[in-house]
Chains A and B, each alone.
Chain A
Amino acid sequence: MRKVAIVGYAQHPILENAGALNEVELIMPVVHQLFDELGISQNNIDFTCSGSCDYLQGAAFAFVEGLSAIQTNPPIKESHVEMDAAWAMYESMLKIQMGDADTALIYGFGKSSPGRLDSIISLQMDPYYISPLWPDRVSLAAIQARVLLEKNIITPEQMITAVIEARTNSKNNKNALVTELVDKEAYLASENISSPLNEFDCPPISDGSSAMIIASEEKAYEFTDHPIFIEGIDHRIESSNIGSRDLSKPSGILASIEQLKLEKIKFDVAELHTQFSHEVPYLQSVLNLSDVPTNLSGGPLVGNVMMCAGLDAIGKTYESLKSHDFTNGLAHASSGPCLQHNMLVHLEKKS
């Protein structure tokens, strides 16, 4: 199998409300930042793949408009996933592994501010048994949080720590939206959204975009002497029937851990797509990360661009490996209610 490396990643500053800045205007700066850094143009890209959600824009095939951000003449090979752009990266990696491309551009974008995210996300679920009840994303997450708390898999103190650490770590992330520090008192006084989750347990409504360029091994060495390789990647989905899942046992993630033989790897850093505070200690425990610096970027609790935050976890892991004396990094992307669909990515820097 051909090896694939990440050679560039760029993130738009995460905004609370991008206002009249449309999706194209959010994507263009990050794509061109990458092109400028690598000294290339769209002509050097063999395959382009984006991740976004038409529901957020409220129009069918809205993602096609995103292509206005890049040069599509002469015609390009292009694809899109109605998912987080982490899965666009997965598709692009397969293209390179199959020998159909040597370079790929991935971008994700999302504006959550214009609509009502809670009701929009309800529409993405089972249209027979679940959507008609309009369960919001926070309430579904809270159902899992309560299971984990009840079974003592996590503690309320760990949730508070996750919130405080995310805010503290936001200083490492120049694009973070939420940077205000909080203490335990402020946390306990914050507004209850859907018990047991309060305002600080939830991610901020965010607008933004991100882009990444990946390349085959040979091509990667043209861009850098120290490529960061995708050494392992695996994604699994659990049942869409939320009531038939064991919300305290992540069967998909456990299968991925075994597939990737993660227990044999000593990770230097991890970035998790943990949108709610209880997910941080839960996944740290499942992934055996108690001694591993996790979410140094602050993670989704300080900026959570829908359809980007998973790609951002991969991108932030890449950035950590690049700028520190680190070798192995673990990134996690997620989709669906209560961590239904999960991707694990093992990145390794070659010295």
Chain B
Amino acid sequence: MSDQKDLLRAPFELAYNYKRSSGPLMSKFFDALAEQKILGTKSSTGKVYAPAAEFDPETHESLSDLVEVGPGGVIESFSWIEEPKHHHLIKNPFAFALIKLDGADTSMLHMVTECDEEDLKIGSRVTANWSATIENRITDIKFFTLEK
């Protein structure tokens, strides 16, 4: 058995230095973010998945019919973080929220901030705020804020 006393410790930060392919469909979603547009995909049943889904989890069909949704939407549920931890992108109090964007039938996970916990409810309307720099990533949407 190892001795528990006098342990030497060294930091070890593991990182992923990879570039991933976004594939044909999600590439269009990430390209559209550069134009501050959010895309969803419509299935043959008329259901709109946003953010754009490559396939329908119910009918299992592959999806390619892109439709614009948002940038406003409704909070379907949320969790409130009063004291963000080191890995959180927002350093002020914020919420992780499932947001059903206007025109969509499913919700997108993102963050909501610049408000107090008491201001948020299931059903609250929020709108997208955009990052200053575009990286074709989901974080091009900086966060959502309550609609004025």
Contact = CB atoms under 8 A, between A and B. Distances in A.
A21 B96 contact: no
Contact of A143 (B1, B16, B77, B89): B77
A135 B109 contact: yes
B132 interface: no
A20 B106 contact: no
A156 interface: no
Interface string A127-151: 1111011111011111111110010
B45 to A, nearest CB: 13
Interface stretch (A2-10, A204-212, A237-245, A260-268): A237-245
B77 A21 contact: no
Given A139-B96, A140-B96, A134 B2 contact: no
Contacts of A197: 79
Contact of A116 (B4, B81, B86, B107): B86
B137 A132 contact: yes
Interface residues of A, number: 44
A195 B80 contact: yes
B143 to A, nearest CB: 9
A244 B57 contact: yes
A22 B98 contact: no
Contacts of A132: 137-139
A244 B106 contact: yes
Nearest to B30: A128
Given A20-B2, A133-B89, A135-B109, A143 B79 contact: yes
B117 A136 contact: no
Interface in A258-287: none
Given A58-B12, A244-B106, A133 B77 contact: no
B109 A133 contact: yes
Interface string B83-117: 00111110000001111100000111111000001
B86 A129 contact: no
B1 A25 contact: yes
A52 interface: no
Contact residues of A: prevailing secondary structure: mixed
Contacts of B77: 143-144, 146-147, 150, 247
A195 B83 CA distance: 11
Interface string A193-208: 0111100000000000
Contacts of A79: none
Contacts of B14: 58-59
A41 interface: no
A20 B98 contact: no
A124 interface: no
A122 interface: yes
B80 A244 contact: no
B65 interface: no
A29 B109 CA distance: 43
B109 A243 contact: yes
B99 to A, nearest CB: 8
B88 A134 contact: yes
Contacts of B4: 19-21
B142 to A, nearest CB: 11
Contacts of B108: 129, 243
A172 interface: no
A243 B106 contact: yes
A241 B2 contact: no
Nearest to B79: A142
A72 to B, nearest CB: 22
B26 interface: yes
A137 B85 CA distance: 13
Interface string A227-244: 000000000001101111
Contacts of B49: 241, 244
A150 B79 CA distance: 13
Given A133-B96, A143-B96, A194 B89 contact: no
A129 B25 CA distance: 13
A146 B79 contact: yes
Given A19-B4, A129-B109, A136-B88, 15 more contacts: A19-B2, A21-B1, A22-B2, A58-B12, A132-B139, A139-B81, A139-B96, A140-B96, A141-B79, A143-B77, A145-B79, A194-B80, A241-B49, A241-B106, A244-B107
8 contacts: A19-B4, A20-B2, A58-B12, A58-B14, A128-B20, A143-B78, A243-B107, A243-B109
Query: Which 5 pairs, one residue from A and one from B, show the smallest C-beta to C-beta distance?
Result: A142-B79, A243-B107, A20-B2, A195-B80, A119-B87
